[in-house]
Amino acid sequence: MQTSKRPVIARRSVLLLLVLAALLVPVPAFHAPQTHRISIDASQFEYSPGRLTVNRGDTLQVTLTASDVVHGFFLDGYEIDARVEPGISQQFTVSADRSGKFNYRCSVSCGPLHPFMIGELVVGPNEPLWRASAIAVIAAAAMLIGAGTRRSA
Amino acid sequence: MTNGRGNRTAIVTLIAILVGIPLTIVGYQYGLRPVFADHRIIDITARVPENGGFQPDLVRMEVGETVTLRFAADDVVHGIAIGPGLGVDIGQVDPGHVGEITLTVDSPGIYTYYCNTWCSPSHWRMRGVLEVVDPDAASPLSSPPDPIIEALVAAGIDIDADPQTVDGIVPDRARGQASVGSVEVPAELLEPDWRLQHTPEGGLGLLRAANRDTPDDLLIDVVAYLWSNTVPTEQAVELFAKNCAACHGERGGGDGPVAESTIDPPVAFAEAAWLRRGDIWYAKIRRGGMGTDMPNFGTLFTVEETRSLVDYLWFLSFAGP
């Protein structure tokens, strides 16, 4: 290797900057906050719908019903715990201010498969995945460029 | 330490544990606890009716005796209440938990402990009998006949006939309330007992005769107001939510969450109300519906509670949108 160290350091700083950017640049919000009116029905042993997808900053006005026995609704990461009986619906509001994937699960023993009664709330795009993908792309590009410069040297 | 002795110690310890733990539990429940309690303690297991319901489903006690009932839910959430007229509602008992009530009953009779939280398709079958006997009384327990139902039977009215429905009558209760002062109301229509035995349509006939020049739709509104003018008691709303809403719906539209699993679709009160007598509603609640899945609540509710429920049905029927 006859190349001086300076280009190497410069290359590495650029690489580091790119990686940091991929890790830390905030994702802009593409959507104006919306209010969703959602009905969730709890039955043995599933929620319907079992998956909710909203954008960060949205508000969910949930009407929770039960159609066979008493069920619960505990939303991970949002400090929400409701209990619902057949014939007596429950209303509550969720402000989706944390992005990520959060499970909602039954918090009242409702029968043999109760532990598997889980739904998921997806808030916003899957940021960790996209950031990791960007870093992978940067790494791959850096390796290709590095290999090219070594071959030409 | 010789090997033999160590082995023997281990075996003795193991046997002590295996025998001692069950012995302690059973000994406490059937030995120590009864000895130290100053009154009887009765353990009742609560399961869905398909798996046995309440076990035991018969408890006998004497008038004035103090008894503790411990209800242990075994499978899903059950709600425990005891009626009629005792006003006992332990509330919901989660699986693995115990709901406890210590009670003394002063009047002899047959009471019912029952589940008031929808727990399975046969939920309403989940009942147990609490017999309170007076040791000095010679006669066995019996329930007095219900005068309202007796009168229906004597008049030859078929309680189980399907309710007639009528289209196109959607009274505006609020307008009726505003106009009730401006029309001539016959005295009978102001009597709750008369209204109980007559349909709103029958009331409209009398009202028409007394107000020949008043438009019909206004009279219909007034009748709807008269039949539904009793403000629902908190107790009636609670009883309805606990015992009726699962089939008949929160607003009485016949669209409760388990309505699809019943033999006949549950009655939507508003559709049947115009041609319905209150005493038939009363009889249906107390006696149940023959050939339908409508349970009998006469062994759970007092006469007053049933009357307040009937009032609430009128209120739901004519409450408007």
- State pLDDT tens for residues B225-241: 999 988 899 999 999 99
Tens of pLDDT, residue by residue over B61-70, are 999 999 999 9
B50 residue type, one letter: E
Closest residue by Cα to residue B52 from B31, B75, B70:
B75
- What separation, in Å, do the N-terminal and C-terminal C-alpha atoms of chain A show? 8
Mean pLDDT along residues B125-151? 87
Other CB atoms within 10 A of residue A142 CB: 16
Q: What is the pLDDT of residue B320?
A: 67
| B143 phi, psi to nearest 5 deg | -95, 135
| B245 phi, psi to nearest 5 deg | -65, -30
Q: What is the pLDDT of residue A152?
A: 65
Q: Is A48 on the interface with B (CB under 8 A)?
A: no
Other CB atoms within 10 A of residue B217 CB: 12
Mean pLDDT along residues A124-142? 89
| B297 phi, psi to nearest 5 deg | -115, 5
Mean pLDDT along residues B296-304? 93
Closest partner residue to A87 (CB to CB) among B92, B121, B241 is B241
Could you give the 3-state DSSP secondary structure of residue B45?
strand
Q: What is the pLDDT of residue B321?
A: 59
Q: What is the pLDDT of residue B43?
A: 94
Query: If pLDDT is split at 50, 70 and 90, which confidence band does A2 have?
Result: low
pLDDT at A58 > cutoff 90: yes
Query: If pLDDT is split at 50, 70 and 90, which confidence band does A27 have?
Result: confident
For residue B244, the chain A residues in CB contact (below 8 A) are 87
Number of CB pairs, chain A paired with chain B, less than 8 A apart = 58
The rounded distance, in Å, linking the Cα atoms of B73 and B82 is 16
**Residue B237 near residue B229 (C-beta atoms within 8 A):** no
**Which residue of chain A comes nearest to B256, CA vs CA?**
A87
Query: If pLDDT is split at 50, 70 and 90, which confidence band does A3 have?
Result: low
pLDDT at A25 > cutoff 90: no
Q: Is A97 on the interface with B (CB under 8 A)?
A: no
pLDDT at A106 > cutoff 70: yes
Closest partner residue to B118 (CB to CB) among A87, A89, A111 is A87
Instruction: Please return the burial class of B222, using the count of CB atoms within 10 Å of its CB with bins 0-12, 13-18 and 19+.
Output: buried
Say if strands B58-62 and B127-133 run parallel, antiparallel, or are unpaired. parallel
- Contact yes or no for A68 and B258 at CB 8 A: yes
Query: If pLDDT is split at 50, 70 and 90, which confidence band does B1 have?
Result: low
Q: What is the pLDDT of residue B165?
A: 82
- Ramachandran bin of B295, using left for φ above 0, alpha for ψ from -120 to 50, beta for the remaining angles: beta
Torsion of CA A116, A121, A125, A127, to 10 degrees: -60
The rounded distance, in Å, linking the Cα atoms of B294 and A126 is 50
Cα A144 from chain centroid (whole Å): 32
- What separation, in Å, do the N-terminal and C-terminal C-alpha atoms of chain B show? 86
Q: Using CB atoms and an 8 Å cut-off, which of residues 82-101 of chain B contact chain A?
A: 92, 94-96
Mean pLDDT along residues B91-97? 93
**Residue B55 near residue B75 (C-beta atoms within 8 A):** no
Share of chain A above pLDDT 70, in %: 94
In this structure, what token pair is assigned to residue B81?
Answer: 């209440």
**Residue A61 near residue A128 (C-beta atoms within 8 A):** no
Q: What is the DSSP string of B111-146?
A: EEEEE-S--STTGGG-EEEEEEE-TT--SPP-PPP-
Q: Which of A68, A81, A83, A114 to substitute to test the interface with B, most B CBs within 10 Å?
A: A68
pLDDT at B2 > cutoff 70: no
Tens of pLDDT, residue by residue over B242-266, are 999 999 999 899 998 888 888 888 9
**Residue B72 near residue B47 (C-beta atoms within 8 A):** no
The rounded distance, in Å, linking the Cα atoms of A35 and A12 is 46
Mean pLDDT along residues A60-86? 92
- Contact yes or no for B118 and A111 at CB 8 A: no
In this structure, what token pair is assigned to residue A13?
Answer: 């700083």
Nearest-neighbour CA in chain B from A116: distance (Å): 15
Closest partner residue to A69 (CB to CB) among B77, B245, B249 is B77
Q: What is the pLDDT of residue B291?
A: 83
Share of chain B above pLDDT 70, in %: 99
- Contact yes or no for B257 and A66 at CB 8 A: yes
**Residue B252 near residue B313 (C-beta atoms within 8 A):** yes
pLDDT at B100 > cutoff 90: yes
Percentages (nearest 5) of helix, strand, coil residues in chain B: 45, 15, 40
Q: What is the pLDDT of residue B14?
A: 95
Tens of pLDDT, residue by residue over B149-170, are 999 999 999 888 888 888 777 7
Instruction: Please return the burial class of A29, using the count of CB atoms within 10 Å of its CB with bins 0-12, 13-18 and 19+.
Output: exposed
Query: If pLDDT is split at 50, 70 and 90, which confidence band does A153 have?
Result: low
The rounded distance, in Å, linking the Cα atoms of B89 and B263 is 29
Close Cβ partners of B78 (under 8 Å, ≥ 6 residues apart): B46, B71, B92, B93, B115, B117, B119, B126
Give the Cα-Cα-Cα angle A15, A17, A22 (nearest 5 degrees): 95
* DSSP H or E segment with residue A103: strand A100-105
